[in-house]
Structure formats: structure tokens, C-alpha cells
Amino acid sequence: MGCSREVIVGFNEMHAEAVAGVVDRVVNRYRRDPTCMLQILREVQEACDWIPPEAIDHLQATLGVPRTKIEGVAGFYSFIYTEPRGKYRVLFSDNITDRMQGNRALMERLCNSLWVERGKVSEDGLVSVGKTACTGLCDQGPGMLVNNYAIAGLSEQRIDEIAELIRNKVPMAEWPPAFFKIQDNIRRADILLNADFKPGEALLAARARAPSDGLNASNMRSWREGLPSGIGGPAATLDEIKRAGLRGRGGAGFTTGLKWEACRNAQLKPGHQRIVVCNADEGEPGTFKDRVLLSRCPDLVFEGMTVAAYAVGATRGFVYLRGEYRYLLDHLNAVLANRRRENLLGKDICGLPGADFDIEIHVGAGAYVCGEESALIESLEGKRGTPRNRPPFPVTNGYLDQPTIVNNVETFAAAALIALNGGEWYAAIGTKHSAGTKILSVSGDCERPGIYEYPFGVSIRQVLEDCGATDTQAVQVSGPSGICVAEDEFDRIIGFEDIPTAGAFTVFNKTRDMFEVARNYVHFFQHESCGFCTPCRVGTSLLKNLMDKLHYGSGSPYDFAEIEKLNNLLQSMSHCGLGHTACNPVLDTIAKFRPAYDKRMMQQDFTPAFNLDRALSAARQMTGRDDAAAHLENEHGGQS
């Protein structure tokens, strides 16, 4: 570290007083509230380019929080840096679709052009180039983040332009706005994306459902005290949600009406309030429909949250926006401000006395696990995003121990339409077991990647036809934690009764190597494991090592048996869904694309993963040699 730190002075070193000034400004903006720790760290970093030790000194003093806690939080999130990472921090999205679109070569090109080693900071401290998990730009990839701002549709030319801007130290605010243009790519719209919706409509419709007698009084009591059931608009709204048969759109498919009712019925301790949280931490690789919902129809989502608040009696709301979507923040805040002006948020909403609700946006910082609702709540509280022990569940003991509902962006959008048009209208769309529509994020090998909204019940084949996919080998539905569907299953349908999904729909044609797809996903889970429980923390690393071993040609039937055993262990012993599903991509592809694995099983008997020639690659890199004499004879004949 020592000498590079010296050189970095100038780009990254700020005077301690300047750092303290930044910290003061940010901390005051967050009311000196330690539960906003992640937001504070994120904003300090936006000003300082990293979290210097002096910032932690000052945070410790102003927030009265021990250093261990601050460093613990900072160290958890991929996008928070406690070591200098350059004035320009470039992260290439490394989802399988980015790989298919050639992100590796582009990254190489940028590294060569800027004279920087992958994963490291340039010697002058100007720039770092690394990779990150899926940035949700799969339909317009390859994508990257520069200082957490998204750039899509990378090409060699764009990479050269970016290198030039960085070399000339052009501030990001002066980069061509066209670089940051993100397309919505809506290819098929249905009730949600076609909604002709005026802000406030759904709330007024929900209010109109209240029995006419004692309208205000009953609503006021219900909102504030969350009376169990039976009176007023809130109960009527809840009934509509139940009648609609709405189920969560984040993947798990829990019945929304039941969740809301449990929150509404939860006992409130003195001084507590009910909380509505919108999960916009769309981290599942291949999913980007919440990005489009939030950029195209934020009012629908916010109104859905307000309807939820009305139904459960909540007074505080949060949107947890994934760090990769930082670029949406200012726009979303402007929409919220407008809703406050229109009296659709704030006090006495729509003129209803006691109807108080407001929404604030928290931005994540690169942690997939925070999409798990209890980890998300921990993160909202300014902590490490570790999933909680359950029970108790968030509906009774959520944000700061208060009754909390956490729903997906799309669920809230649907709830707003249900409040507007009624449960029966909604239930009539889709199938018997899956009401409504589902937005799919289609990417991979197809002519028209983008957003497709279908009524539930659409077949995989139909989607493939619509998006112009030919010669399709497989579709990964709902991302790595979902299922991999092979050709003979293309008549299966999207729906809770067959293939449930959070929205990802990644297409692979017959030229793709399904083993490498699975290996990419396994690397993803290993990177995103929170590290709390032993089986997932160590097991995902062991699984990654096994897949790499197969990749390098040292695999044998023994390793297959090991993968099987690891899968069972992760399923039974892991703390949360991440560990439970981490083996899915491997199991699915072994079952359905066995030849891709057989090709890798180059050994009949157990062979160690260690390969001396590969181990010498670091030495080759250091000495700049790659000639034949710098290699050992490759014993296993595998690729290195």
C-alpha cells in the first residue's frame, strides 16, 4: 500500500478539515441518525471518492457510533471503499449476458488504453477498472458503472472515448449526456405499462370504497391505530387486494393480501408506527423490469405504496433502490416532491384527516443479498445486510422492530391498479392460480431484447417467438436462483402453478456453453454470499472451486458427487434463500445439459485441483514472460 498511497496524493487525499466538512454536511442532512449509516457513507464517498480514515474518525465522533460498526458496514458493501479506488471508478457489468456481448475484450481494451491492471488502481491514482455483478442493462449491454452511474451499449469506440475523457480528467458532469442514456425498450405492454393513470386516482378510488357513514372518523382511526378489520376504506382496500389474488412479484410469490393483513393486525408498541417498504433492489442477474417501471411509471409505484399504507395503517415508507440505479434517484425524488405538492403524500393525504404517509429513498451499495427482505431491513437500519433469524417476521417485527411490509416494485404498481379498478377486474386477467400480468426482462440471444408484459399463463415458446429468438437451447427463467428450461419444456407457462419468476428471462442459443453459464452464476453467488452462516460462506466458495476445477480440466466423477453433496448441505443448512438456491444453476444444467459437463470430465479418477503450471501464471505475469520455456508441460491437457 505504502508507496502507491504517496502517489495518490492529489487525486484522493483531501485535507482532514475538508473531509470533516463533508462529513458534517452529510451527517446533518441525515439528522445525525446512525440508522442512516449506509446513506451517509454513500454520500461521503460521492464527495471524497472513498471513505478515508479521517471520515471514519469524524463519523465516530458525530454519530457516537463505534469504529468497528462503521468499518463493519463499510466493509460489507461492494460499492463502499475504505481504500482509495481512483477518481474514476469503472466497474464492468459481468453478468453472463455481458460476457456474451463481449465485455471481457472491452475491459481489456480499457485497461490497456489507461495502462491499468484489472482490479487495481492506476499508479497515478486516477482510475480503477474492475467488474461487478449484473447492472440490469442486459437488454442494452455490455454495461458499466462509472462512479456508480450507468453507461449502456458499450462498444470499442465508446470505450476509447471514455478512456480519453478519463485521461483528460474531464469531470463526469461534463461527459456527453448521450453516454448515460438508458433505454426502456418496452416491447409488449399490458395493464401496467399501458396504464393511463393520473396520480391520486387510485387513492380516491380506495377512499370511495369506504362505507359512507363516518367516513373520516373511521379512516382516521384505522390509519392511525390499524384497527384489525371491519371498518372503513382500509379494510375495503384490503378486501380488494385479496379478491384480486395478488401475489408478490419479487419471486417468492407470497399472497400480498395476507402479508398486508398480518401487518395491519400486528400489535403496535407505544411510539411505533407501521412501515411500507418498496424493494427496488433488483439484483437478480438478468432482471431489469423494476428499472423500467421506476423510470416509466414511478407515480404508479408510489401510489401503490400509499394504497398499501392506507390499507395497513402505515405512516412511513421507504424505497430501497439498488446502487446500480443511482442515476434514477434525482428523478424519483422530484416525483416524490411533486406528490407532496399535490397532497398525495405528507399530512392529511387527499384531505383525509389523519391520513399521513411519506416516502424516502435509500440507495443500496452493491449487495445482492439485500434483496432478501430481512437483510434489506437491516440495510435500511444502516447495518450490514445480513438476513435475520426468523421468526419473528417483518410483518410484526420489521424496520426498527416495527410492523413492516416489504413488497416488490411491480407488486405495488399492480396494487395501485387494483385499488383503481377493483379486485375482480384484476383476478379476471391471467390464469386461475396466477392473477394479473407479469413483466419479463428478456435478454440474451434474441433479436428484440427488452421488457415484455404478459398476462400470466404465457408459454416460454410464445415469449421466444415474440422476442425473435431462434435456435434456442435454453432459457434461464428468474435468474440464477430460478430455473433453467430446456427445449423440451418450452410449452411450460409463466405462472405460480408452473414456472414462477421474478422477471428474468435470459435466452441462450445452441452455440452457448451451458457449463460456462452455470459457472458464471456460481461465481455470482460466491461473490454475493453475505458470509453470515458457515454453509453458504464456505460452501459457495467450495462450489466455485469445483466448477473452476472442471473448467480447467481436472474434473472427475468424484467432483460430481461432491457438487451433489454440497448442494444438499446448502439446501438444508443455509440461513437464507441465497444459500438454498446457490446450487440451482449447476443442478439444472447437469440434469439438462449433461454433455457440457461430460466434456469437462477429463479425468476418470480423482485429480487434485492444484495445477503447478497455472500456479506459475503469477510469476509469468510479474516477469512479463509467456514463452514455452516459462511453462511446465501441461499434465492434464486442460486449458489454462
Partner 1 sequence: MSHTFTLDGKVIPFTEGQTIIQAASAAGVFIPHLCYHPEFKAHGSCKLCTVKVNGRHTASCTMRAAPGMVVESETEEINAERRALTQMLFVEGNHFCPSCEKSGNCQLQATAYHLGMMSPHYDHFFPNRAVDASHPEVLLDFNRCILCSLCVRASRDVDGKNVFGLSGRGIKTHLIVNAKSGQLADTDFSLADKAAQVCPVGVILKKRRGFAVPIGERKYDQAPISQTADTTEGR
Interface contacts to partner 1, rule CB under 8 A: 53, 56-57, 66-69, 71-72, 74-78, 367, 384, 389, 526-535, 537-542, 545, 565, 569, 572-575, 608-610
Least Å from the CB of residue 53 to partner 1: 6
Least Å from the CB of residue 241 to partner 1: 29
Bond preceding residue 608 cis, omega within 30 of 0? no
Q: Considering the complex, state which of residue 56 and residue 308 has its C-beta at the smaller distance from partner 1.
A: 56
Q: How far apart are CA 224 and CA 227, in angstroms?
A: 8
In a 13 Å sphere around the CA of 411, the CA atoms on its Cβ side amount to 30
Least Å from the CB of residue 210 to partner 1: 40
Residue 596 phi/psi, 5-degree rounding, is -65, -30
Distances 430 to 438, 439, 466, 476, 485 between C-alpha atoms, Å: 9, 12, 18, 22, 21
Q: How far apart are CA 472 and CA 10, in angstroms?
A: 52
Q: Considering the complex, state which of residue 75 and residue 351 has its C-beta at the smaller distance from partner 1.
A: 75
* Greatest Cα pair distance in the chain: 91
Least Å from the CB of residue 342 to partner 1: 41
Q: Considering the complex, state which of residue 271 and residue 391 has its C-beta at the smaller distance from partner 1.
A: 391
Q: Considering the complex, state which of residue 67 and residue 181 has its C-beta at the smaller distance from partner 1.
A: 67
Least Å from the CB of residue 538 to partner 1: 4
Q: Considering the complex, state which of residue 476 and residue 574 has its C-beta at the smaller distance from partner 1.
A: 574
In the chain, the amino acid numbered 609 is A
165 CB-near residues (< 8 Å, 6+ apart): 175
Least Å from the CB of residue 535 to partner 1: 6
* DSSP, residue by residue, 51-97: --HHHHHHHHHHHT--HHHHHHHHHHSTT--SS---SEEEEEE-SHH
Q: Considering the complex, state which of residue 68 and residue 168 has its C-beta at the smaller distance from partner 1.
A: 68
Least Å from the CB of residue 362 to partner 1: 18
* DSSP, residue by residue, 11-30: TT---HHHHHHHHHHHHHHT
Q: Considering the complex, state which of residue 538 and residue 601 has its C-beta at the smaller distance from partner 1.
A: 538
Least Å from the CB of residue 532 to partner 1: 5
Least Å from the CB of residue 325 to partner 1: 20
C-alpha cell at 45: 464517498
C-alpha cell at 634: 501441461
Alpha helices in 471-583, H assignment, sequence order: 514-528, 534-551, 557-573, 577-581
Q: Considering the complex, state which of residue 105 and residue 612 has its C-beta at the smaller distance from partner 1.
A: 612
Least Å from the CB of residue 435 to partner 1: 29
Instruction: Pick the closest to residue 551 from 587, 596, 592, 583 (CA basis).
Output: 596
Q: Considering the complex, state which of residue 312 and residue 546 has its C-beta at the smaller distance from partner 1.
A: 546
Q: Considering the complex, state which of residue 414 and residue 533 has its C-beta at the smaller distance from partner 1.
A: 533
584-592 vs 557-573: helix crossing angle, rounded to 10: 140
528 CB-near residues (< 8 Å, 6+ apart): 133, 283, 367, 368, 369, 578
Least Å from the CB of residue 171 to partner 1: 31
Q: How far apart are CA 169 and CA 490, in angstroms?
A: 50
Q: Considering the complex, state which of residue 386 and residue 404 has its C-beta at the smaller distance from partner 1.
A: 386
Q: How far apart are CA 626 and CA 620, in angstroms?
A: 6
Residue 318 phi/psi, 5-degree rounding, is -130, 145
